[in-house]
A and B are shown apart, each in its own frame.
Chain A
Amino acid sequence: GESVGLHLPTLSVQEGDNSIINCAYSNSASDYFIWYKQESGKGPQFIIDIRSNMDKRQGQRVTVLLNKTVKHLSLQIAATQPGDSAVYFCADRSLGTALIFGKGTTLSVSS
């Protein structure tokens, strides 16, 4: 099957900086995209999602951008905090299928 992948395996930022985590997907039929955060020893935790009929969606301190032309998804975290340190996964889904996850980006936030 097709898979979703992330551009960089690790990202290190300073507290207070903005973080951008990127993701490329390959399935042109995908109509739903989602970002999860996973801390050590825990299951993935929902952050934000977006449908394919949108190109931007904002939450609290997070924004997801979707570029269907180049099949690219990004997660922006404003004013990154130490508690944001985790592994971030993007995932996508097309009609009738389950979510397919990429490999993840480890975000490290230093004080």
Chain B
Amino acid sequence: GAGVSQTPSNKVTEKGKYVELRCDPISGHTALYWYRQSLGQGPEFLIYFQGTGAADDSGLPNDRFFAVRPEGSVSTLKIQRTERGDSAVYLCASSLQSGGANVLTFGAGSRLTVL
């Protein structure tokens, strides 16, 4: 596609529920990144994929968070047993390749609200 597409744009859920957020990167981009942005803060790194494999998942806050990219294109961020502190905008970005001077192109984000 022309840009990075994220769905849903808004998600309201209750504490304890399971949530999936989807990212459709720019066609041909091999690297895909997930960030989380709380109000008034900069994006916080969660995980990135090079192809189908997670190259670095050191930013995932705990084992309730998991992400997959089974075919090296679309990625899903999964959050189990959501907590109020998970409320944030989840940003996805993609780049042609990882590292170097490859610019990340971001989507508009998925705003998650946990009640």
Contact = CB atoms under 8 A, between A and B. Distances in A.
Interface of A: 1, 32, 34, 36, 41-46, 49, 51, 89, 91, 93, 95-104
Question: Which of A45, A99, A100 counts the most B-chain CB atoms under 10 A from its CB?
Answer: A99
B48 A101 contact: no
A99 B34 CA distance: 11
B99 A100 contact: no
A67 B45 CA distance: 25
Contacts of A89: 42-43
A41 B108 CA distance: 7
A76 B56 CA distance: 33
Given A43-B4, A99-B45, A34 B108 contact: no
B99 A95 contact: yes
Contact of A34 (B4, B103, B107): B103
Interface in B92-106: 93, 99-101, 103-106
A43 B99 contact: no
A101 B44 contact: yes
A104 B42 CA distance: 6
